[in-house]
Amino acid sequence: MNSEIKTNTKIRRIKAGKIIKAVKKLFIETNTTMGEDVVEAMQEAISHEESETGKQVLKKIIENAGVARRKKMPVCQDTGLAVVFEEMGQDVHITDEPLHAAIEEGVRQAYVEGNLRKSVCDQFTRENTTDNLPAFNSFSG
């Protein structure tokens, strides 16, 4: 029995700049575009809603989602905390800077360029961080 393990594994290198751009794009898109499935569910809910006020609220939410999409504005003024779930294979290498730093920079750029509400405060000073960092990060490799 041969105990040698042969692999033809090729390391995939990804520049941190690509990750920064992807994270920025996804954060802006997530905060400015309500999913079609959600919009359709709200439209369906209007036909089942008994209260006239409830119907009007659902219509306004749908209208707001359309304006947000067209104008690239947040759907809701409170864009919350940045949460990133990342998954990376063992044969991937990030170049130029660490993965975590690239994700943080993408989040920072998204909150600034996307005019997203920066509401995160430093846990010790209670002062606003002005860029919504740090992002909460969940890694599974």
- Chain centroid to CA 37: 18
Tens of pLDDT, residue by residue, the chain (141 residues):
555 655 667 888 999 999 999 999 999 998 899 999 999 999 999 999 999 999 999 999 999 999 999 998 888 877 678 888 988 888 899 999 999 999 999 999 999 998 888 888 888 999 988 888 888 876 654
Q: What is the pTM of this model?
A: 0.77
Phi, psi of 44 (to 5 degrees): -65, -40
The residue ranges of every structural domain in the chain are 35-73, 77-141
CA distance 48 to 55: 9
User: Tokens at residue 43, please?
Assistant: 């439209």
